[in-house]
């Protein structure tokens, strides 16, 4: 399915397995039949192009409203407006919310967002009073989206293309890494920070074991986990 529809497809849990669904044209339907030998096709109702918006609803995390541009943010709360079509990260995923919950508990200071995607966490950090804020990602398009989203939200942040496992990283008070467990464990020894917030992995296992850090806090939701670490005394 990834080879047939690299732009994306839907996974639906059923009692007897997982159903894979793709919106396509007659040519795509033919390719599905050729690849899988059996498939079911049905016409899509008018307006399907806009129905994906139904899945992107605003959330409020630690007093910060996070939502898409077609929703009206409340005037009483700081807001982070993120177009979900630009890059990974809308605020809707549990790992984003968990990371922001833990970040909000920390003393305000400078922040580095590792694997920033759309920069929702970096922008939210700025809205919560952290600064200066830096963001890095290996994806050029993600960094471009991060810069644009920062301008749209009226915050100042430094976003650049960088590989956290190889490139030089700035010293900051806090780093947040909503990535994968393997990447968290690889990057942690390279960081010069007092506090580290990590997520992007399931709660079924223990918190990542990070060289040079002590685990101090954890939040879970929907099977996902986020953790806070403190730099060990030298």
Contact 201, 130 (CB under 8 A): no
Q: What is the DSSP secondary structure assignment for residue 74, as one 8-state letter?
A: P
Residue 211 to residue 69: CA distance in whole angstroms: 40
In this structure, whether the domain defined by 88-231 belongs to CATH 3.40.50.150 is answered with yes
Q: Which residues pair with 226 in a beta bridge?
A: 199, 219
pLDDT digits (tens, 9 = 90+) for 21-72: 888 888 888 888 888 877 888 887 666 656 656 667 788 999 999 998 888 9
Give the separation between CA 113 and CA 52, rounded to whole angstroms. Answer: 28
pLDDT tens track for 120-178:
999 999 999 999 999 999 999 899 999 999 999 999 999 999 999 999 999 999 999 99
Domain range list for the chain = 10-44, 88-231
Would you place residue 232 in the very low, low, confident or very high pLDDT band (cuts 50, 70, 90)?
very high
pTM, whole model, 2 decimals? 0.78
């Amino acid at each position: 399915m990834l080879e047939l529809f690299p732009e994306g497809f839907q996974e639906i849990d059923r009692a007897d397995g997982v159903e894979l669904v793709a919106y396509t044209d007659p040519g795509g339907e033919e390719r599905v039949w050729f690849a899988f030998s059996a498939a079911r096709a049905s016409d899509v109702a008018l307006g399907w192009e806009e129905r994906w918006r139904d899945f992107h609803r605003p959330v409020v995390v630690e007093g910060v409203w996070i939502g898409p541009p077609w929703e009206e943010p409340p005037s009483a709360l700081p807001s982070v407006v993120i177009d979900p079509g630009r890059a990974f990260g809308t605020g809707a995923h549990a790992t984003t919310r968990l990371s922001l919950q833990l970040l909000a508990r920390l003393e305000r200071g400078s922040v580095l967002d590792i694997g920033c995607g759309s920069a929702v966490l970096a922008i939210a950090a700025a809205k919560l009073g952290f600064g200066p804020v830096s963001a890095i990602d290996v994806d050029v398009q993600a960094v471009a989206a991060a810069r644009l989203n920062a301008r749209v939200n009226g915050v100042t942040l430094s976003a650049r293309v960088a590989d956290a496992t190889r490139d030089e990283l700035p010293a900051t008070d806090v780093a947040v890494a909503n990535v994968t467990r393997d990447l968290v464990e690889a990057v942690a020894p390279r960081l010069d920070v007092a506090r580290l917030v990590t997520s992007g992995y399931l709660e079924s296992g223990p918190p990542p074991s990070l060289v040079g850090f002590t685990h101090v806090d954890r939040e879970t939701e929907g099977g996902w986990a986020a953790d806070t670490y403190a730099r060990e005394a030298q």
